[in-house]
Structure 1
């Protein structure tokens, strides 16, 4: 049986719009390693992402520089369970304009189809993924960092993932 597709989630710029508070988002102060960060999160994102995962049979996974801290600081504030994490230790840009996360994502997916919600992906990332031997089908969804994740982004992911068919029996997010 083929493994389930993935829904890869960035935090900053996707779940946490950057630059200003967006209507419907709540402000939180998060302290990490003695540094205080301000994040703006929308409670509805968790329920919408869980519904998308259930409907499509996809596994929600963090692909963020927050790494495991996303499970501690972000997930509970938007109603998500603890999720698997794409490890980014030592992530550095590989080429001009390419995200430092892209090689780590390529190594993590192991041929599984995936949708990646991120605000900092471009043509270099797409080319790298298209040419990587461990990467199968994928859809990069560029999110405007000023507004964050929208229903249109979720609908686009749902439409794309619908061709893989949900596996209702094991459609538990993050598994």
Structure 2
């Protein structure tokens, strides 16, 4: 089974601080709402490189859901990606993010790395106790900075050392 690389948008690919010159500003309209996002084209290439090197599958794990394929993917040079459905749930069990049960249901026993700006101890505890969740690495991203080469290197090292990419070039 291919490992998964789960990627959030806001706070990860779209940092909340003033964007550096590496980022380009976009205005996105989804239904009646407009959003300003700042995206770095290099993120797309780096995520694709990580997926290829580690034999992983990139997946959106964001409240943007399928809108990420329309608005984010093309601006980062990414293909259309699968999407973790963010179906509304009841109150949290342990203080975990509202996205965590959705991720737990989606992974179906596959190993995964999750880049998100809202990952806490409660999320790890929830995932460790959820049937159908096996090995994983949570990579909390500081939302003002967004995704960095250090985050990608952590994911690559974990996937490589765990042996999930054995037999891949």
* TM-score of the superposed pair, with normalisation by structure 1: 0.91
Instruction: Report deviation, 1:21.
Output: 1.8
Residue from 36, 46, 49 that aligns with 2:47: 49
Change (3 A) 1:21 1:131: same
Question: What are the within-5 Å matches in structure 2 for residues 8-157 of structure 1?
Answer: 8-91=6-89, 93-95=91-93, 97-157=95-155
CA distance in 1, matches of 2:124, 2:78: 28
CA distance in 2, matches of 1:33, 1:18: 22
- Structure 1: stretches of 5+ with no match in the other structure: 170-175
What per-residue deviation string (whole Å, max 9, x for no partner) do you get for residues 26-56 of structure 1? 1110011121100000000011000000000
Does the CA-based 8 Å contact 2:94-2:126 persist in structure 1?
A: no
What per-residue deviation string (whole Å, max 9, x for no partner) do you get for residues 138-171 of structure 1? 00000000010000000000000012125548xx
Where in structure 1 do 4 or more consecutive aligned residues deviate above 3 Å?
Answer: 166-169
CA distance in 1, matches of 2:24, 2:90: 31
Does the CA-based 8 Å contact 1:57-1:167 persist in structure 2?
A: no
Does the CA-based 8 Å contact 1:22-1:147 persist in structure 2?
A: no
Does the CA-based 8 Å contact 1:46-1:79 persist in structure 2?
A: yes
Does the CA-based 8 Å contact 2:97-2:123 persist in structure 1?
A: yes
